[in-house]
A and B are shown apart, each in its own frame.
Chain A
Amino acid sequence: MSEHGAHIDVTIRRGTGASGWFQTYRVPRQENQTVLDVVSWIQQYADPTLSYRFACRVGMCGSCSMMVNGQPRWTCRTHVSKVLQSNSVRIEPIRNLPVINDLVTDMDPFFDKWVRAGGVHHPTRTRKDAIEAIDPGSAARVEIDARIECINCGVCYAACDTVAANPGFLGPAALQRAWTLVNDPKDGARQQILDAVSGKGGCHNCHSMGNCTRYCPTDLNPLAAIAGLKRETVRSLWGKRKNA
């Protein structure tokens, strides 16, 4: 039990769309308790009308992201003891996305930008062809390996001040996805992706503040991916393709 007491005060942003209010609940304090546990307790024992989103509870699905004391976090892997301030915690829906209700945001704009950034697979072979052999030690593959661990949680998107100021900006996650495909020898639309991230709202709008990398719960580095896209798009513009 916490030295602060047997309960914690949890303030949650309620309501639909842009209109909302804050409601405070008193939740029993447990020694080992995540922010998602707290939200679940409120929904199960205090207010069944509370809307929130979660699935795996083990940091794999990326669906439980919320703003915790003003910072984006994956709530299933965030211990209350690490974020408690004066025995209270404030929970809001993740930033930069429209609120559907309470803690649930509409993720469509987030994933629409993945598509706009060319983040879909462009196959080079048909199902009748043999699978292309990829050297796991090649530089391009190593560059991709860490980045495909992105769990699509939207934490980087919520942390990004450029997205907040420039809603047309594709955002760190979509651009990092594009960077994996640019480096993927099995993707057949490298130039198409570079063109997609070179227009208005593309990678060149990033101010390199690095909030995406700082807050990524899986320790990925979207900032470096965006820097890579900036380099490759400039090379591409000047006709100096990396693999030429």
Chain B
Amino acid sequence: MLDVRLYLAQRLSAMLMVPLVLGHLVVMTYAIRGGLTTAQILARTRGSVFFMLFYGLFALAVSVHAAIGLRVILHETARVTGVWLTAFTVVAGIGLLLLGEHAVLVVTWP
């Protein structure tokens, strides 16, 4: 149940996520292989505008991409349509965005 705008939003968010996922993998590899403690990781992320923007944008892209994907799954598996499908998409998108941005702020707020 996609029109061209939702299709485009999902593709653009996917394109945005490609470098962000690669960057995230680099960060994760550095943190784990370097054997950083939680305190050492937080010391690097708290107050960092870069990490705030990097993961803030990541959470936004994921929220858009996943909400549209979940919309398609719900429609094709449960045949949900109309206002209920729109409501689910909006709630899923906003819910993911709030959860994601909250997590980003917790580790990047000074």
Interface residues of A (CB under 8 A from B): 162, 165-166, 168, 198-202, 204-205, 230, 233-234, 237
Task: Write the nearest CB–CB distance from B81 to chain A, whole angstroms.
Answer: 8
Complex contact A237–B4 (CB within 8 A) = yes
Instruction: Tell me whether chain B's interface is mostly helix, strand or loop, or mixed.
Output: helix
- Asked if B8 CB lies within 8 Å of chain A CBs, one says yes
Chain A residue nearest in CB terms to B2: A204
Interface residues of B (CB under 8 A from A): 1-8, 72, 75-77
On whether the beta carbons of A237 and B76 are closer than 8 Å, the reply is no
Whether the Cβ atoms of B2 and A205 lie closer than 8 Å is yes
Cβ contact within 8 Å between B76 and A230: no
Closest to B6 in A: A204
In the complex, what's the smallest C-beta–C-beta distance from A161 to chain B, in angstroms?
Answer: 9
* Cβ-closest chain B residue relative to A195: B4
Beyond A165-B77, A202-B4, A234-B8, 7 extra complex contacts between A and B, CB < 8 Å: A199-B3, A200-B1, A201-B1, A202-B2, A204-B3, A230-B7, A237-B5
Number of A-B contacts (CB under 8 A): 33
Residues of chain A with a CB closer than 8 A to B8's CB: 234, 237
Q: Of B3, B5, B72, which is in contact with the most chain A CB atoms at under 10 Å from its CB? A: B3
Pair B3/A165 contact, Cβ less than 8 Å: no
Report how far A204 CA is from B8 CA in the complex, Å: 9
Which 5 residue pairs of A and B lie closest in terms of their CB atoms, listed nearest first?
A: A204-B7, A165-B76, A198-B4, A204-B2, A233-B4
Report yes or no: B75 in contact with A202, Cβ–Cβ below 8 A. no
Task: Report how far A237 CA is from B76 CA in the complex, Å.
Answer: 26
A205 touches B4 (CB 8 A): no
Q: Is the CB of B77 within 8 A of A200?
A: no
> Whole-angstrom distance between the alpha carbons of A237 and B7 in the complex?
12
Question: Which of the residues A166, A230, A233 comes within 8 Å of B1, measured between beta carbons?
Answer: A166
B8 to chain A, nearest CB (A): 6
Given the known interface contacts A234-B8, A237-B8, the answer about A198 and B76 at a Cβ–Cβ threshold of 8 Å is: no
Separation of A82 and B8 alpha carbons in the complex (Å)? 43
How distant is the Cα of A199 from the Cα of B3 in the complex, in angstroms?
Answer: 5
A138 to B72 alpha-carbon distance, docked (Å): 38
In the complex, chain A residues whose CB is within 8 Å of the CB of B5 = 237
Q: Complex formed: what's the CA distance from A205 to B1 in Å?
A: 6
Q: In chain B, what residue has the closest Cβ to A167?
A: B79
Residue picked from A202, A205, A230, A233, most chain B C-beta under 10 Å: A205
Q: What are the residues of chain B within 8 A of A199 when measuring CB–CB?
A: 3
Nearest A-chain residue to B76, judged by Cβ: A165
